[in-house]
Each structure stands twice: as structure tokens, then as C-alpha cells.
Amino acid sequence: MTDIATNTPELAAGTAVKGRSLWATALMRLRRNKAAMVSLLILILYIFAGISGPMLSPHHYATVYPEYVRVPASLEAYPRAEEIIPQAESVLTRTRLQIDAIEVNGNTLHVEASSEREIDPRMTRYLERSDIFSNVRIVETSGDSRSVVMEADVERLRFLFGTDANGRDLLARILVSIRISLMIGALATGVALIIGVAWGATAGFLGGRVDNVMMRVVDVLYALPFTFFAILLVVFFGRNVVLMFVAVGAVEWLDMARIVRGQTISLRRREFVQAAEALGVSSGGILRRHIIPNTLGPVIIYMTLLIPKVILLESFLSFLGLGVQEPLTSLGVLISEGARNMRSAPYMLIYPSIALTLLLFSLNFLGDGLRDALDPRDR
């Protein structure tokens, strides 16, 4: 037992040692668990990405770039440097001008063109119409208007993770889906927590016939094929994300109820509960003040393991096409789109898969770490 050090400086100095609470000890143990700390760090990054990522990302998750459908992931900006001039040339053929010189200087396109007839300055619109060029201006016109020098800004975009089959930035979509996943994880787990704790504590506390009936309900719900239940809920609640996850939470509370009930039954016979009863505290008061706070440890452990389960479930439903709807997206939707496009664009499958796996990994490791930290019997 190295947790309780006996030769701390305080003791040596003869000062009173402050008792460590359960939570302080747990935190200390958690800090020593490297896997859990790394997971916590990754998780904080994910939360940051979920909250502010979509705002920081240069592209909106629903913006469509029709010129860049399914461009592979790359650090280089699009259009690639060698593609700009051919693009400009193909656009300029429609102006029927003789191109004398064309070059790209940084982000500006420089064109010298001439024609046998007088040049209409409105022909710059051909260039404007293309998504790549903007702010086209005529710098110089010769006296007879038969040759011009014009410049245009080249809009260069970066798609670090590439774009999807509709030409939307994959990075922005992954960031938004992380936000959705985390939100749903928190929401559904919260619902499961409230129902499960209330149900389990009531059943365990009242005991007898009430307990029997309440736990039989849990048993029956357990026997229902779960996927079926989730699909029915989706069908029933329509495709509203928030309602749907209230519904998922309403399914996932069964384990929570069992855990809390077991804890409550053992707490029920403890002296402090009997003392409270003897003092005439109402049942509701005992539940709120004495029973529920004491079940918190196992509940927190189960909660951290429930979050990845819920996120996984959401991705699973979205994968089947039952989850969030376009243009909003989630990791499950992205993975299923990736699976459909994997022959031509494997990165569309790989990046969302990595994002989901890493998130689930860190949540699971953190949950395991918390269990080790909060439950000393297990060690």
C-alpha cells in the first residue's frame, strides 16, 4: 500500500495530517494511471474540437464545392499549382481571345490576351463564373482595345482530410460529427442516469412487492432484442436527434437501475439510514440525502462506460441510415458513406473510422482508470 505514505513531511514536522477524502485518493490514483491520463488529454482535445472546432474550421460543414468532389486528403491547397493555368485556359477559350501570355504569381493569375476585334470588357465574367477565380480586373487596355492585360485572384482552398462525394470538406464534417457524438453521449447518458438512479433507488428502498414488480419490468425490457427496440424508438420519434437520444437513454437505464438497486439494498440496513428513519426523515428525504449520494461511486464508473456505448449506438443507428439527417452528420453516417465510396476514395472511410475509434478508446481507458481509482477492492 503505497497510497498512504507514512513519512510525509507534515508528519515529520509534527503537524496534523489532513485526512484524504475518497475523491482525493481516487484522483491521486488516477493521476498515476498513464493510459487514463493520456485518454483524458485526448478527450479534452475532442471536447475542444467538438465545441470550437466547427467555428475554427475554414469551411462550413454543409458548404458544397462542386469543383472539388472527392479530392483526396492533402496538405497542398487546391487547385494545385500546375492545374491553375490549364483551368484558366479552358475557361478563356470561351472568350475566343488569343492568349499571348499567362502566368501565376502567388495567388494572382496574370493574363495577356489579344483579339482581332475590339474586346468587350464584360468578357471577364467568364473567368468570374468559375469558382476558382475571383476579383477579375482589367489592368491595362491597349489604345485600340484589341489587347488587354488582366489579373484575377486565385482562390486556393485547403482540404486537409479531402472532400466527400458532394464536395464538402471532410475535416469540417468530422468536427461537427464529433460535436454531435459528444452531445448525444452526454444527453443520453444523462437521461439513463436520471431514470436508472430514480428507478433503482426506489425499488431497492421500498423493497417487497414494489421491488419485485419494478425489477420484473427491468427483466422483461432486458429480454427485448435491443437493436429492435432502438429502431422502433427511432421510427416512433421520427428523425429528431434530441428526442431520439432521450429515447436511447430511456433504453440504456436498465443496468444503471440494477446497480443502484443492489447498492441501495445494502445501504438500507446501515445504521445511518436507520438513524435518519428514527429521526422521522421522510422516505424521499432519506433517498435524496443518504442513499443516492452513497451510490455515486459505482454510478460514475458505469456512466463513463455508458458514454462510449451510447456513442457507438448512435453511430450504429446512423450507419443504418436511422440517425441524424443531412446536411448534419455524425461519425456513423460518415463511415457508412466512406464504406460506399471506399473504392474510389478510401480516405473517406479511414479518417472517420480513426476519429471514432480514438474517441471510443480514450473513453474506455478513462472508464477503466476511474474504476480502478474509485474501487480499491478491485486492485
Partner 1 sequence: MLAYVLRRLFGAIPTLFVIITLSFFLMRIAPGGPFDRERALEAKVLENLNRVFHLDRPLWEQYLYYLGNLARGDLGPSFIYRDFSVQQLLGSGLPISIQLGASALLLALLIGSVLGTIAALRQNSWIDYGVTAVATFGITVPNFVVAPLLSLIFGVWLSLLPAGGWGNGGPANMLLPVITLALPQVAIIARLIRGSMIEALRSDHVRTARAYGLPARMVVIVHAMRAACLPVVSYLGPAAAALLTGSVVVETIFGLPGIGRYFVQGALNRDYTLVMGTVIIIAVFVVVFNLIVDLLYAALDPRVRYD
Instruction: State the residues that interact with partner 1 by CB under 8 A.
Output: 220, 223-228, 231-232, 235-236, 238, 308, 312, 315-316, 319-320, 322, 332, 335-336, 338-339, 342-343, 346, 349-350, 353, 356-357, 360-361, 364-365
Q: 144 or 378: whose CB is closer to partner 1?
A: 378
Q: 20 or 340: whose CB is closer to partner 1?
A: 340
Beta bridge partners of 108: 105, 153
- Rounded to whole angstroms, how far apart are CA atoms 286 and 32? 36
If DSSP states are collapsed to H, E and C, what string results for the chain?
CCCCCCCCHHHHCCCCCCCCCHHHHHHHHHHHCHHHHHHHHHHHHHHHHHHHHHHHCCCCCCCCCCCCCCCCCCCCEECCHHHHHHHHHHHHHHHCCEEEEEEEECCEEEEEEECCCCCCHHHHHHHHHCCCEEEEEEEEECCCCCEEEEEEEECCEECCCCECCCCCEHHHHHHHHHHHHHHHHHHHHHHHHHHHHHHHHHHHHHCHHHHHHHHHHHHHHHHCCHHHHHHHHHHHHCCCHHHHHHHHHHHCHHHHHHHHHHHHHHHHCCHHHHHHHHCCCCHHHHHHHHHHHHCHHHHHHHHHHHHHHHHHHHHHHHHCCCCCCCCCCCHHHHHHHHHHCCCCCCHHHHHHHHHHHHHHHHHHHHHHHHHHHHCHHHC
Q: 256 or 349: whose CB is closer to partner 1?
A: 349
Min. distance of Cβ 164 from partner 1 in angstroms? Answer: 15
Min. distance of Cβ 230 from partner 1 in angstroms? Answer: 10
Nearest-CA neighbor of 46 among 231, 164, 186?
186
Min. distance of Cβ 62 from partner 1 in angstroms? Answer: 24
Min. distance of Cβ 71 from partner 1 in angstroms? Answer: 19
Beta bridge partners of 111: 102, 150
C-alpha cell at 62: 454543409
Min. distance of Cβ 346 from partner 1 in angstroms? Answer: 6
Min. distance of Cβ 115 from partner 1 in angstroms? Answer: 50
Min. distance of Cβ 232 from partner 1 in angstroms? Answer: 5
Q: 346 or 376: whose CB is closer to partner 1?
A: 346
Q: 325 or 364: whose CB is closer to partner 1?
A: 364
Q: 204 or 332: whose CB is closer to partner 1?
A: 332
Q: 87 or 353: whose CB is closer to partner 1?
A: 353
Q: 335 or 370: whose CB is closer to partner 1?
A: 335
Min. distance of Cβ 67 from partner 1 in angstroms? Answer: 27
Min. distance of Cβ 147 from partner 1 in angstroms? Answer: 52
Q: 243 or 350: whose CB is closer to partner 1?
A: 350
- Rounded to whole angstroms, how far apart are CA atoms 69 and 208? 64
